[in-house]
Amino acid sequence: MNVDSINTYLFSTRMPDTHINSLRKFFFSTFLLISLPSLSIAQLNEETCAKLKNFGKFYNNQEASSLQSAKLFLSYQHQVGSIDGTDSTGKNFNDNFEEVRRFWMGLSGKFGTYWKFKAVSQLSNDRHNYPSSSGGSYRQWGHETFRAANITFDAGEFWDIPSVDSIEIGYGRRTGRMADEWQRSSTMINCLERSSFSNKLWLYDKEKGNPMATWVKWKSGKNTFDAAVFSGTYDDYIGGWSDSKVYYASWLGDFSETSSYEMHEYWLSFYKQDGSLNEDQLAGGNDWALSFVNRIGDGPWALHSTVALGNNGEQTNANREGSFGGIVLMPMYWLKEDKIKLVGRYLYQESKQIEGLKLNSRYVPLADTRDSTIDLNSGRGDEHHGFYLGLNYYLCGENLKLISGIQHDDLSSNGTTQYRGWTAGTSFRIWF
Q: How many CA atoms lie within 13 A of 216 on its CB side?
A: 4
Ramachandran category for residue 160: left, alpha or beta (phi over 0 → left; psi -120 to 50 → alpha): left
Domains of the chain: 3-431 (2.40.160.10)
Residue 78 has pLDDT above 90, yes or no: yes
Using one digit for the tens of pLDDT, what is the confidence trace for 196-255? 999 999 999 988 889 999 999 999 999 999 999 999 998 877 778 999 999 999 999 999
Phi, psi torsion values for 85, nearest 5 degrees: -160, -175
Q: What is the mean pLDDT of residues 289-313?
A: 98
Q: Which of 50, 94, 86, 55 is nearest to 71 (CA)?
A: 55
Give which of 202, 214, 350 is closest to 286, Cα–Cα: 202
135 pLDDT more than 60: no
**pLDDT attached to residue 206:** 86
Residue 136 has pLDDT above 70, yes or no: no
Per-residue pLDDT tens over the stretch 20-63: 555 555 555 555 555 554 444 445 788 899 999 999 999 999 99
Whole-Å CA distances, 186 to 69, 295, 414: 24, 18, 34
Largest CA distance in the chain: 68
- Percent of the chain, pLDDT > 70? 87
Q: Would you state the pLDDT for residue 27?
A: 52
Ramachandran class of 285: left when φ > 0, alpha when ψ lies in -120 to 50, beta otherwise: left
SS3 61: coil
pLDDT above 70 for 407: yes
